[in-house]
Structure 1
Amino acid sequence: MLFAATPDARRSVHARLHLALAMLLAGSSVVMTKIVGASLPLFLANALILLPASVVLIGLTWWREGPVRVPPDAWRPLILQALCGIVLFRIFLFYGIPLTSAASAGILTSAVPAVTALLAWLLLRERLGARDIIGVALTALGILVLTVPGASPDAGARPLLGGLFVLGAVFGEASWNVLSRLSGARLSPLAATTVVTTLALLLFLPLAVPEALHFDFSSLTLGDGVALLYYALGATVLAYVLWFAGVRYLSASTAAVYTGWLPVSAVALSALALHERLTLWHALGLACVLCATVVFARSEE
């Protein structure tokens, strides 16, 4: 005999689907970076991505919460979050991905939880538990696997340098996480993301405007425009909305497990969209970082 699912059970299933889809969209940003970066200069590309994202987020925040009021003492940490978590993250990513494969870059970006734990230990004096140490070790092993000669046959001209740039992006994202704990800003997640995204746009503009003045926009194809719009509204705004729509109904440890979908998405799309060849080393590196994700999630329990 079949029983109808309870409202709580249905809500849990929907929340899990939201988180999985959010991370699949976020993972696609790695592939989008490679596509967009081949057609546009770095600063102009990011300004064109962040402009529609900021407009939509401002409208969404106004609709849901009204005008945002930022406490005076919150501006400094919010600016630092924009600088580290978006500006530096994207600069390093745009420099790194052309030098390595999108699959390897996707796996490397999943090192964010490990680097966050290390930075929190160094800067906030948070204790590293046994599971945290195991998670860091598994992440390090996953990264080392990708440095094996021949691990990524479709890597660019300088895969090691590309990997270092991507790790620089990882440190930027991890710094965002640590700064969010330090900020003490009395803002909702939606309002904070809107402010930080808009600040990042303002930080990119001084260098984006000169690039725009010397760029031939007629060289852009319809595909380039679609990629930019998808990066802004799909991989950025929609991923964020889905994540916070689901995370409020699940525990932090359960939600953390779903971050493992990000490298899976990046690796799968690198093969499907960019036709990169995947190797056993990619599978091994991915397995290590996925295990690390589960370990970090258990450490939150």
Structure 2
Amino acid sequence: MTATVSLVAATLFWAGNYVVGETAVTALDPVSLVLLRWAFAAVPLLVIAQLVERPRWREVLRAWRWIVVLGLLGVLGYTLILYEALRFTDAFSASVINAFNPAMISIAAVLFLRQRLGLRAIAGIVIALVGVLIVLSRGSVEVLLEGGFGLGDLLMVGAGVAWTAYTIVGRRAPAVPPITSTALQAVVAVIAIAPVSLALGGPAMPPDASVWGALAFIVVFPSVLSYLLWNRALEVVPPARAGVFLNLITVFTALLTLLTGHPLGAAQIIGGVVVIAGIVLTNLSPSRRARGPAAGGGAG
């Protein structure tokens, strides 16, 4: 029961990253937001990693090349593209497109890891793709045929590609305790993006208390607590079963969107339901259960 609550809470916090992040990027540019998020989150993540996982740091640092690549692809690349996308699209649409990530990872695993997909998994991927296309086109056949998709939606597809690459690389990387790995990747992200921020004039600071509150939420909940809760739950719940909980991110994002007074369009709702149905079908397939651990970080 505790593990289930932990998984639900982790996905709720990741959903909050979409909704709060959509507000934060109206006041902070994505580069500043990513820098501040991981700069503030890196220290508590390192402390928690030491207290919870007690890693053997010499052994961990032998995998530094892998950690650098993973940090650039996932913690930095994914979140930077995500926040850039939220400047042009709404939180719910972004979360629906993000929900297609497991299907993209399944396709990449076939191409690069020589894994096989069963008919059920293939059907689930196709169904999820239809749902994504419904969201991208806003339910318009003309938009779909003309390829007139919104910039934010296309950026979210790019974020999905970054996370897919992160996941495939991660499956080849040496085993490192998950919270420790996330903490070090956060350090890599800060080191990599700090010069970019300085070249652009330095990081922008939150202009008022509400934006500081949004940043504090992003640092504490989706950046620290979600990873802690998720990885603690994985000690009890099989990774493939835990992966199904990631579909709650879209559901929670929809609820949070409505609670903040933003209406949802019919195409968004229908597309979201179709994507979730397809991903659940993919997760329930035998080939899906046979694969490695479900990634939580790509959630937000």
Q: Report the TM range for the smaller structure's normalisation.
A: 0.7 to 0.9
Moved more, 161-170 or 97-106: 97-106
Residue 92 of structure 2 is aligned to residue 103 of structure 1: yes
Residue 73 of structure 2 is aligned to residue 87 of structure 1: no
Residue 150 of structure 2 is aligned to residue 160 of structure 1: yes
Please report how far the alpha carbon of residue 55 of structure 1 lies from its aligned counterpart in structure 2 after TM superposition.
0.5
Aligned counterparts of 1:190 and 1:205: Cα–Cα separation in 2? 22
| Selected match of 2:222 from 235, 240, 263 | 235
Within-5 A mapping of 1:159-238:
160-183=150-173, 185-211=174-200, 213=202, 215=204, 217=205, 220-238=207-225
| Selected match of 2:101 from 109, 112, 120 | 112
Counterpart contact for 2:35–2:203, Cα < 8 Å: no
| Paired position in structure 2 for 1:272 | 259
| Paired position in structure 1 for 2:123 | 134
Aligned counterparts of 2:254 and 2:149: Cα–Cα separation in 1? 16
Unaligned regions of 5+ residues in structure 1, if any?
1-12, 152-157
Residue 137 of structure 2 is aligned to residue 148 of structure 1: yes
Counterpart contact for 2:32–2:203, Cα < 8 Å: no
Instruction: Specify the code of the residue in structure 1 equivalent to 2:96.
Output: I
Change (3 A) 1:112 1:214: closer
Aligned counterparts of 1:70 and 1:171: Cα–Cα separation in 2? 30
Residue 30 of structure 2 is aligned to residue 42 of structure 1: yes
Q: Say how many residue pairs are matched.
A: 279
What CA deviation, in whole Å up to 9, does each residue of 1:2-31 have, x standing for no partner?
A: xxxxxxxxxxx1111110111111111111
- Report the structure number with the largest CA radius of gyration: 1
Aligned counterparts of 1:143 and 1:206: Cα–Cα separation in 2? 35
SS at match of 1:98: coil
Change (3 A) 1:214 1:68: closer
Counterpart contact for 2:137–2:149, Cα < 8 Å: no
| Paired position in structure 1 for 2:48 | 60
Identical aligned residues as a percent: 23
What CA deviation, in whole Å up to 9, does each residue of 1:240-293 have, x standing for no partner?
A: 1111121221123321211111111222222323x3221222221111121123
What CA deviation, in whole Å up to 9, does each residue of 1:20-74 have, x standing for no partner?
A: 1111111111112211111112211111110121010111112221563345652
TM-score, normalising length from structure 2?
A: 0.86
Moved more, 245-254 or 197-206: 245-254
Residue 255 of structure 2 is aligned to residue 255 of structure 1: no
Aligned counterparts of 1:30 and 1:159: Cα–Cα separation in 2? 20
Aligned counterparts of 1:175 and 1:267: Cα–Cα separation in 2? 27
Aligned counterparts of 1:63 and 1:169: Cα–Cα separation in 2? 32
| Paired position in structure 2 for 1:3 | none
Counterpart contact for 1:113–1:293, Cα < 8 Å: yes
Aligned counterparts of 1:212 and 1:57: Cα–Cα separation in 2? 28
Q: What's the RMSD between the two structures over aligned residues?
A: 2.0
Unaligned regions of 5+ residues in structure 2, if any?
141-147, 290-300
What CA deviation, in whole Å up to 9, does each residue of 1:174-226 have, x standing for no partner?
A: 2121111011x2311121111112111211111123446474x4x61111111
Change (3 A) 1:30 1:214: closer
| Paired position in structure 2 for 1:7 | none
